[in-house]
Amino acid sequence: MSTTLTIETPTGTVHATAGPRRTDSVVFELHGAMRGSVHVTGTQHPRYWDQFTAVRACLGPVDAYETTATLTAVLRACADSVAQRDDLPLILDASRLRKTPGLLRFLNWASAHAYAEAVRCEAESQSARPARKAAVAAWWTVARWFTAHPHPLLMLADRDDSLARLIHVMEWQGPYYATAAAEERARADKYRGEVESLRAQQQRGRTRRRGTQAYPGTKETV
């Protein structure tokens, strides 16, 4: 049984009629102040890539529309309608099945990139310590020279390329890169955890579908 939504927008009334579920999506045909179609499908949580708990609405081919206020209202109404359907778990599960291979590729890359950044930041943090000590030692050497010869004053002043400026930079570089390394490692661990979660869901899906195909027309790729 189809669902027809009546959506009031700033440019007039839009009627959106839902067609039958297409494995992992529902398509609404638009009439009235806006024509075209809206596709609503399942998608992952915006902060947790392994959790398919949301729906996403996108605009299909459109003949004409006057303002984006209209567009926002239509997309939101269609998405809310699908979010309340009894077969929403089937839509979300099929969407997860379709998107998992691409998400795994992205998360594996993101995890490796974050780990590489963590290693780089840790190296920067480690190198900042001896560099700071060397700069401090050089500053004191110049300071001793200055007691007899005032000309090196410019090297002690806080100006570009001076020892004082170099020491100032070295003071914050160590803690900064140590914090950045910890953040990158935490981000890499999060991505790795989401990879493991998606693979576990993928394996459970294979077990459920063994001997039968729960969602006709959907093929799983790894």
pLDDT in tens, 205-217: 877 766 555 444 4
**Which residues are registered as beta bridge partners of 9?**
12
Question: What would the two tokens of residue 153 be?
Answer: 């004053």
Helices vs. strands in the chain: H and E counts, helices first: 4, 5
Residue 6 contacts residue 13 (beta carbons within 8 Å): yes
pLDDT of 1 reads 56
Residue 17 contacts residue 28 (beta carbons within 8 Å): yes
Query: Tens digits of per-residue pLDDT, 95-154?
Result: 999 999 999 999 999 999 999 999 998 888 888 778 777 777 777 777 667 665 555 555
**Displacement of CA 39 from its chain's centroid (Å):** 22
Any residues with CB less than 8 A from the CB of 109 and at least 6 apart, and which?
A: none
How large a percentage of the chain has pLDDT more than 70?
Answer: 77
- In which band, very low, low, confident or very high, does the pLDDT at 65 lie, cut at 50, 70 and 90? very low
| Per-chain mean pLDDT for the chain | 80
pLDDT of 221 reads 41
* Mean pLDDT value of segment 196-213: 79
Residue 136 contacts residue 130 (beta carbons within 8 Å): no
Q: What is the pTM of this model?
A: 0.56
